[in-house]
Chain A
Amino acid sequence: MNQATQDPHHIDVKEFHPRARAAISDPKIRQNFRKAMDGLITKRKDAFEGMDLEALRELGANIRLRALANLPDLLEQLEKKLSENGIKVHWATDGDEACRIVRNICVARNAKTVIKGKSMVSEEMELNHYLEERGITALESDLGEYIVQLAGETPSHIIMPAIHKNTGEISELMHQTTGTDLSNDVEYLTASARQQLREKFMNADVGVSGVNFAVAETGTLCLVENEGNGRMTTTVPPCHIAVTGIEKVVGNLEDVAPLLALLTRSATGQHITTYFNMISGPRKLEELDGPEEVHLVLVDNGRSSIYQDDELLDTLRCIRCGACMNHCPVYTRVGGHTYGTTYPGPIGKILMPHLIGLDEGRHLPTASSLCGACGEVCPVKIPIPDLLVRLRQESVDGDKLNPAKVRGHGAKRGSVEALVWKGWSWMHARPGVYRFGTALAARLRKLQPGQLGGWTEYRTAPKLAAKTLHERMKERGQ
């Protein structure tokens, strides 16, 4: 169960437990994540210092909600504006269709090499894999993604893909795969990667990027990044293909300002990233650089199903900042690969079940103590714990009044567990039975088993009191 050597394309999401156990007993994983997450938590806090964070989150949430309320109209407006600007818009029902679209564009241009900026949607589509199998090289250019690709892995964090590796591991990897000299000097390693990638940029036929916000009003694709690889990807190759989820659209250009302020501060504690890149069209005749062709692929891949339900819809507000994972005590312990899904951590737990089905993703919603740290920091106020509870309900078909809707619902309902809860409910809905039962347990407490499954692996068994509070209150005459 070594995380690093597992083929990332054949991960069984259901094998969560063994991966979690392996990660927890791996001191390097524990240390790498703890150190990184501690740093990010502090930086985020500092970045919002002196701002009215709650009012800003409220605005962010409302902007996203408003965009979702107008989603079909905004998508059409976006398409119209982009077309006017000379950007071609494509629509894909699922990841496969999106991959086909990208490939067809490549084939039409006789393109053999694709350079990529960071894009989680392309990870969702497994685009690299798809293109490679069809003879098109896809190379990641974001340093973290580049490292992950060299290692044959998938990102372990949506913002910092290679966060699970330390400098020594990265140096070793670069040495083995690219012949870079071994070094613990991050500057040196970075400069080497720059050299390796600059060649690739110059020779790439197509650049593929993600999109952070797509503005319907002006037909503008916004990209947030620090490295400049996103600008390279969208400027140097003669053709740029942006891929994004249909939920990324916002109404007005103005909406971008508060969302950007929330995004970068929540993600990495930066006031702003080095580059905020707004693309509204291909190179004009008189311009000397920039791509001649720009495409946008709008990917549904389960999003329109999420959209049907008032509560689940909140999932689509996400602006992919990663703050929920940075603050998640579970993510911090197990790391990103344990989830076995494109999006790890809290956002992954509420999003992935819709993409892969609740049967496949049955362990995702339970892997949370519902501590609420994620919902507390989410810049667009997604009630993540409530959504986790909703998905738990869906996965056991636990609510007759609100029948489950998500694909693969009910897969986790086991007859024994269901029976236990029925019995529990029967007893606790009957005060007399409850009082009798609890008083009896108190009498028999010496017989209480000392071993209680997973609980006593790490703790002593809880001790029943000699008398229940009910009994004591009765004695008191109440």
Chain B
Amino acid sequence: MSSRDAILQRLRNRSGGELAIPDCDFSVLQRPSSSVAERVDQFQKTIESVHGEVHRCTSENWITQLADLLSSRGARNLLVPAAHQIGRTLRDADSNELPELLIYDEPIHSWQAQLFNEVDASITSTRGGIAETGSLIMWPTPDEPRLMSLVPPIHIAVLEASELYSTFHEAMQDQNWAAGMPTNALLVSGPSKTADIEQTLAYGVHGPKELIVLVIE
């Protein structure tokens, strides 16, 4: 018999007999309804408490804010999505305030070393956020591949204030995730960090050292 069948058989022929199935009461996850402004405040407070940076912008001024943030950090370049509105808007802006714009349009193996060593910052969209835990929801796509938000030392995420949920549970229910998940989905809640050396926090251990969220209100 295969290990698979042997294991399943042992589980099925459990000597203690059938197990009772308990009820699961999810109501503890419910939160009182809140306004967008309240959720943005909570999001900001929570993500800032773990070293994330939040800038509230409008759809008019976010590019200027972005340019300032990048130039103050001396970023030489910015990886932007090829097709997403964010990327297109940035390229169309043709601003000389912005650093060189790069796009991720080739399979990783053809430019891995460059991505790892030469890209200073990236910008991606989000599928919303979670106020309670200060989290960004991201579903990487061919346009915004997985490593885009992980490898460059600065990651900038654009979040529409209206897409903030109270809790993770609410977000996945509302967006009906159970109907089908992408190959990779992520919650990102702050920059990469570790406390493995004597409980002392250090940022950017493997992923970005800085996470900057542009909240579009």
Question: Which A residues lie at the B interface, using CB under 8 A?
Answer: 32, 35-36, 39, 52, 55-56, 58-59, 62-63, 65-66, 68-72, 75-76, 85, 91-93, 97, 141-144, 147, 160-163, 165-167, 170, 186-187, 189-191, 193-194, 197-198, 202, 217-220, 226-229, 231-232, 235-236, 246, 252-255, 257-258, 260-261, 268, 270-284, 286-290, 298, 300, 304-305, 307-310, 313
8 A Cβ contacts from B104-136 to A: 104-108, 112-113, 116, 132-135
Interface contact A59-B25, CB-CB below 8 Å: yes
Residues of chain A with a CB closer than 8 A to B25's CB: 55, 58-59, 62
Given contacts A228-B207, A290-B184, contact A257 B167 (CB under 8 A): yes
Q: Which of chain A's residues has its CB closest to B5's CB?
A: A91
23 chain-A/chain-B pairs, Cβ below 8 angstroms? A58-B28, A66-B22, A76-B8, A143-B197, A167-B198, A189-B197, A189-B202, A190-B194, A191-B202, A226-B195, A229-B206, A231-B150, A232-B207, A235-B147, A258-B29, A271-B189, A275-B186, A275-B189, A275-B207, A276-B187, A280-B182, A288-B105, A289-B107
Give CA–CA (A229, B141) in the complex, Å: 20
Interface contact B133-A190, CB-CB below 8 Å: no
Residues of chain A with a CB closer than 8 A to B108's CB: 236, 288-289
Give CA–CA (A167, B177) in the complex, Å: 43
Give CA–CA (A260, B171) in the complex, Å: 14
Q: Is the interface of B mostly helix, strand, loop or mixed?
A: loop
Hey, what's the 0/1 contact readout for B1-25 against A, CB within 8 Å counting as 1?
Answer: 0111011101110111011111111
Interface contact A227-B142, CB-CB below 8 Å: no
Given contacts A227-B194, A289-B146, contact A253 B11 (CB under 8 A): no
Hey, what's the 0/1 contact readout for B22-41 against A, CB within 8 Å counting as 1?
Answer: 11111011000000000000
**Which of A97, A198, A229, A279 makes the CB contact (< 8 A) with B3?**
A97
Given contacts A59-B28, A254-B178, contact A235 B21 (CB under 8 A): no
Residues of chain A with a CB closer than 8 A to B205's CB: 143, 190, 193-194, 227-229
Interface contact B6-A288, CB-CB below 8 Å: no
Residues of chain B with a CB closer than 8 A to A91's CB: 2-4, 7
Residues of chain B with a CB closer than 8 A to A313's CB: 16, 19
Interface contact B204-A307, CB-CB below 8 Å: no
Given contacts A276-B186, A290-B183, 19 further A-B contacts (CB under 8 A): A91-B7, A189-B197, A197-B206, A226-B194, A227-B192, A229-B205, A232-B150, A232-B206, A246-B7, A258-B26, A272-B187, A275-B189, A276-B187, A288-B106, A298-B7, A305-B10, A307-B10, A307-B11, A309-B15
Question: Which B residues lie at the A interface, using CB under 8 A?
Answer: 2-4, 6-8, 10-12, 14-16, 18-26, 28-29, 46, 50, 104-108, 112-113, 116, 132-135, 140-142, 145-147, 150, 167-169, 172-173, 177-178, 180-200, 202-208
Q: Which of chain B's residues has its CB closest to A233's CB?
A: B206
Given contacts A55-B28, A190-B197, contact A282 B183 (CB under 8 A): yes
Interface contact B50-A190, CB-CB below 8 Å: no
Residues of chain B with a CB closer than 8 A to A56's CB: 28
Q: Which of chain A's residues has its CB closest to B189's CB?
A: A272
Given contacts A91-B3, A300-B7, contact A141 B21 (CB under 8 A): no
A167 CB to closest chain B CB (Å) equals 5
Interface contact B169-A254, CB-CB below 8 Å: yes
Residues of chain A with a CB closer than 8 A to B203's CB: 187
Give CA–CA (A232, B205) in the complex, Å: 11
**Which of A254, A289, A305 makes the CB contact (< 8 A) with B26?**
A254
Sorted nearest first, the 3 A-B pairs with minimum C-beta distance are A228-B207, A144-B196, A228-B206
CB-based A-B contact count at 8 angstroms: 260
Interface contact A274-B50, CB-CB below 8 Å: yes
Interface contact A186-B202, CB-CB below 8 Å: yes
Among A76, A141, A228, A307: residue with most chain B CB under 10 A? A228
Among B25, B186, B205: residue with most chain A CB under 10 A? B205
Given contacts A58-B25, A227-B205, contact A72 B11 (CB under 8 A): yes
A388 CB to closest chain B CB (Å) equals 20
Give CA–CA (A254, B140) in the complex, Å: 21
B196 CB to closest chain A CB (Å) equals 4
Given contacts A274-B189, A290-B145, contact A227 B4 (CB under 8 A): no
Q: Which of chain A's residues has its CB closest to B180's CB?
A: A218
Interface contact B22-A274, CB-CB below 8 Å: no
**Which of A62, A194, A307 makes the CB contact (< 8 A) with B24?**
A62
Q: Which of chain A's residues has its CB closest to B134's CB?
A: A271
Residues of chain B with a CB closer than 8 A to A280's CB: 181-185
Interface contact A271-B183, CB-CB below 8 Å: no
Give CA–CA (A272, B189) in the complex, Å: 7
Residues of chain B with a CB closer than 8 A to A52's CB: 28
Q: Which of chain B's residues has its CB closest to A71's CB?
A: B11
Interface contact A307-B14, CB-CB below 8 Å: yes
**Which of B11, B14, B46, B182 makes the CB contact (< 8 A) with A271?**
B46
Residues of chain A with a CB closer than 8 A to B169's CB: 254, 257-258
Q: Which of chain B's residues has its CB closest to A79's CB?
A: B4
B188 CB to closest chain A CB (Å) equals 6
A236 CB to closest chain B CB (Å) equals 7
Residues of chain A with a CB closer than 8 A to B113's CB: 202
Interface contact B135-A231, CB-CB below 8 Å: no
Among A278, A309, A310: residue with most chain B CB under 10 A? A278
Interface contact B206-A227, CB-CB below 8 Å: yes
**Which of B7, B132, B185 makes the CB contact (< 8 A) with A93?**
B7
Interface contact B12-A257, CB-CB below 8 Å: no
Residues of chain B with a CB closer than 8 A to A286's CB: 142
Given contacts A56-B28, A70-B21, A93-B3, contact A257 B172 (CB under 8 A): yes
Interface contact A260-B168, CB-CB below 8 Å: yes
Q: Which of chain A's residues has its CB closest to B130's CB?
A: A272
Residues of chain B with a CB closer than 8 A to A281's CB: 183
Interface contact B22-A65, CB-CB below 8 Å: yes
B150 CB to closest chain A CB (Å) equals 5
